[in-house]
Chain A
Amino acid sequence: MLGRLKEAIPYAALLAGAAFLYWDSSRFASLGRAGQLSPAFWPRAVLALLMGVCAWELARRVLFAPPRPRAEARPAQDEGEAARARRHPLLLAAGIGLTVAYVLLLGILGFFLATAFYLAGFMLVGRYRRAGVIAASSVLGSLAFIFVFMKIVYVSLPLGVGPFERLSIWILAALGVH
């Protein structure tokens, strides 16, 4: 039973979200012209379909799912497959945290520093341990990105604030980006 409920969680969450959006659509439902469909018609039609499918899946999984036989553990085809089947929630949380920190710090540290730290951090979190390769690829990678995007594609990447901005400008000058 617990397994069935666990399977049903995504559908229940989606159903609740869709119901909330359906309720929210009443704010703009009255804005249409007389005799014409309101601007809420299309999103409501989509939400109705979404709620219908979620309700069906919920009912199917919780109420009508037949009891499952005790499945014997399927032997993994190879070592790689077995390793991939294992989950690493802490690693994932660290990766998401690192990514959020990157976006937060990009405007403060500037593109070069934030990117170099992000690349190095990502490789370390990904359990890669060759320090020389990590340092070289993160610094050279950041410089290459700056050169390609600012010099060739003309994208204005964030420079950072205060001393970090001065460092970014110095790096840009060294790379010949004006």
Chain B
Amino acid sequence: MHDVLHQLSLGFLHLLTPANAMSLAVGLVVGMLVAVLPGLTLVMGVVLALPFTYGMGVTPSIVLLTAMYLSGTYGGAFTSILFRIPGEPLDVPLLWDGYPMARQGKPAQALGWTLLAALWGGLVTAVSAVLLAVPFAKFALRFDAPEYFAIVLFGLSGVTALGGASMPKALISLCIGLLLATVGVDDTYGADRFTFGVPILKDGIEYLTVMVGAYGLGEVLARMGEGFATPPMESGGKVETQLPRWREIWRLRPTVARSSVIGVLCGIVPGAGATVGSFVAYGAEAQYGKRRDKLGTGIPEGIVAPQVASTATVGGHMVPLLALGIPGSGATAVILGAFLLHGVQPGPQIFQTEAGMVYTIFASMFAAVIGMCLLGYFAIKPLIKVLQLPEAVTSAFVALFCFVGAYSARNSVTDLWMIVIFGVVGYLFERFRFPIAPMVLGCILGPVAENSFMTSMIAYKNDWTVFFTRPISGIVMVLTFLALAYPMIRHLRQALRVRHLPPGIAALGRETPP
């Protein structure tokens, strides 16, 4: 513990270097802007920031992206509460109580509760990342190829099962990502796979082009297909934040405690993430909260629970990312991409080889929490001015960022064509409601999964039972099956319940939710 505190204090010192401090400040502002703009998603914002990190050191790059990620979980609260526009899916539960509170003439109080919840959730997330990452990494040092395969499989299955979309669609998306990762010359035998005689495909498909194309250009095309129908907002009204009194805060102890635990757990479990955390925390409040009967009418519990949980997931996500090299969400997949672009492979060894960088990232999380709250308190009014920009103008610049970002990686026009192809793929995914995150994660983790699987098979003479007979991989494989079986069981139970309803209602129950 003493060593951890010592390293953390050194991390705070490193954070004071101009490059790190500047990255932190820029990350906070841009993350908040991205979250405020309904046309931009948090993951898309992190993806678009990636090209700017090419010329930076690895530490400022990760500080920038982490700060964006953290402040992005808070920024969308403003538009949710004030205008009933959730900037991100994770902000949806916030508007159920935030907007009614604002409508009752208390927007400043609603924003005050959000600020406090983001501050608490952020501090919880930073502390949990510091406390959990090292034990996680020490544990991971015992891992061999079968354990790595099992862990990667668990990560992919979690994203598939808990991603919120229908499981078959998520599985299809994942398979496409895994297949994209097999294009090119394979690592084990040097065989050309799915290159069709195209020389550039021998190098494989860059996951960066998949991410930028599918998330960035795909979203722009989807909005264009809707005719850029979101009208620009008038934000000239009075916007300020009023913090609640200590007595009121003290009363919300159980809500805060519940939501903090839910947030951190949802962060650690791959695929769960901020959106799931936000919804689960609101659901827990509706089930166990003292004033559950008043939820939805504009009470602080309905604001605090989802905001604490969504911000608290960030640190939870950073734990498996740093300790195992496994991202659990779209945003952490991009952060992993930034690590790899700078030649750093996250994993248990990183705490020995790059301890300075890791603790600077942890320190930046503490600083980012304070910074985003100060920014939210003092700079909210100019921030929401961006809502007045027309969607066609912002989308044009987002598309341009996608192209320049992808071109910057290798100065190759072929990558621009890849962006266009994956932009159309991303649009089709949006159009047919296929989730993009499993494809991106499959693309990034596919090579790790294949290499660890093939290495296990070579080392253990094609004995596939090795994944089940070794204790750690066996347990993880069981968890993987449970993660995959849970949605199926839930679906079956729902189907059985619908079958017992009268015919008319049952037919309605079978309708696919939008």
Contacts and interface: CB of A to CB of B under 8 A. Distances in A.
Interface residues of B, number: 66
Nearest to A152: B55
A69 B175 CA distance: 33
Contacts, number: 175
A1 B176 CA distance: 28
Interface string A83-99: 11111110110011001
A18 B179 CA distance: 10
Interface in A50-108: 50, 53-54, 56-57, 66-69, 71, 80, 83-89, 91-92, 95-96, 99-100, 102-103, 106-107
Contacts of A67: 507
B396 A126 contact: yes
A86 B226 contact: yes
A13 to B, nearest CB: 10
Interface in A4-56: 10, 14, 18, 21, 24-25, 28, 31-33, 35-43, 46-47, 49-50, 53-54, 56
A89 B462 CA distance: 51
B397 A119 contact: yes
A170 interface: no
Contact of A122 (B395, B424, B458): B395
B454 A126 contact: no
A157 interface: yes
Contacts of B416: 103, 106
Main secondary structure of the interface of B (DSSP, over half): helix
B206 interface: no
Contact of B393 (A53, A118, A137): A137
Contacts of B168: 53, 56-57
Given A68-B507, A126-B396, A99 B52 contact: no
B107 to A, nearest CB: 20
Nearest to B423: A99
B1 interface: no
Interface stretch (B114-122, B217-225, B292-300): B217-225
Contacts of B194: 21, 24-25, 43
- Identify which of B51, B399, B428 gathers the most chain A CB atoms within 10 Å of its CB: B399
B188 interface: yes
Interface of B: 51-52, 54-55, 168, 171-172, 175-176, 178-179, 182, 186, 188-189, 191-194, 196, 217, 220-221, 224-231, 390-393, 395-397, 399-400, 403-404, 407-408, 411, 413, 416-417, 420, 423-424, 427-428, 432, 450, 453-454, 457-458, 461-462, 504, 507-508, 510-511
